Structure 1
Amino acid sequence: MSSALPEYYFRVRDNGALVFRIDTGNRHRRIEMEQIAVVNVRNGEVKPQGGRALTPADRAEIDRWVAERRLLLEAREVDDILRTVDHLNQTAQWAQSRASAEELDLVGDALLLAMHDLRTVLVRKKADRLLKDE
């Protein structure tokens, strides 16, 4: 672990984070974390906590973190979809080579409905893009 701690800590939660200012310069040499804000990544809303006003440095660091977090979440979303494609391929192989009749009965309808729904959405979106390009 590095001896130099960052000035801010972001505790990630659904749709955002709690923002803490790190203080190590106290007389007890303890790490103190003071919550200064709550951030919503989706809409960019920043709510100061404890009746305080955020400094320009606070706001700049929060804005930087939000921008980085959005990029990370976008990359993860695409990666998750690509993993889903792999999983669908593995599921097809399982259904063809190893699944018992009972297992297929257990998951078959749910898979068929989910794949039908996905196919419908993908075809509609592709048709909309093609019509828009014309």
Structure 2
Amino acid sequence: MSDLPEYYFRVRENGALVFRLDGANRHSRLEMDPIAVVNIRNGEVRPQGDRTLDGADEAAIRDWMEERRARLAAREMDDIHRAVDQINLTAQWAQSRATDAQLEEVTDRLLLAMHDLRTVLVRKKAERAAREDEP
């Protein structure tokens, strides 16, 4: 078990539960010692129980948080690109294969969602243009 990492991060919705791994104990079993809870949104790191995190713990957690934030940001952009593809596929479906009943079921919801998205995108584009025009 010598090739195991020193830490394991059990991902949770807002961060992770951090474990220190120990495979070199007298029982030759993998021990997972919970050392901290991490909140990725606000950057909070709470040691578990009365534990004090050492410099190596803090560095490993900080590195994981940076990597996790980058991974989540990349996933978010990938999701947006997929949404663009899905909008195009939906347009093709509506034009070529959708029945009247199917269109009746989704048209109002799609129109409202697209109107909301268009409103936000136009406003954000105008804000960017205004900032670019500032001296």
Please report the TM-score for the alignment, with normalisation by the length of structure 1. 0.97
How do 1:48-63 residues align onto structure 2 when only pairs under 5 Å count? 48-63=47-62
Which amino acid in 1 is paired with 2:124?
K
| CA apart distance, 1:3 | 5.6
- What is the match of residue 108 of structure 2? 109
* Residue 35 (1) aligns with residue 34 (2): yes
Decide whether the 8 Å contact of 2:7 with 2:19 is kept in 1: yes
Unaligned runs of 5+ in 1: none
Which amino acid in 2 is paired with 1:129?
R
- What is the match of residue 69 of structure 2? 70
Which amino acid in 1 is paired with 2:127?
D
Q: Deviations over 1:47-82 (max 9, x none)?
A: 000210001000000000000000001111000000
- What is the match of residue 87 of structure 1? 86
How far apart, in 2, do the equivalents of 1:127 and 1:27 lie? Answer: 65
Q: Deviations over 1:61-114 (max 9, x none)?
A: 000000000000111100000000000000000000000000000011100000
Q: Partner of 1:38: helix, strand, or coil? A: strand
Unaligned runs of 5+ in 2: none
TM superposition outliers: structure 1 runs of 4+ over 2 Å: none
Q: Deviations over 1:8-33 (max 9, x none)?
A: 00000111000000011111110110
How far apart, in 2, do the equivalents of 1:127 and 1:59 lie? Answer: 42
How far apart, in 2, do the equivalents of 1:19 and 1:3 lie? Answer: 19
- What is the match of residue 16 of structure 1? 15
Q: Percent identity?
A: 66
How far apart, in 2, do the equivalents of 1:3 and 1:105 lie? Answer: 61
Please report the TM-score for the alignment, with normalisation by the length of structure 2. 0.96
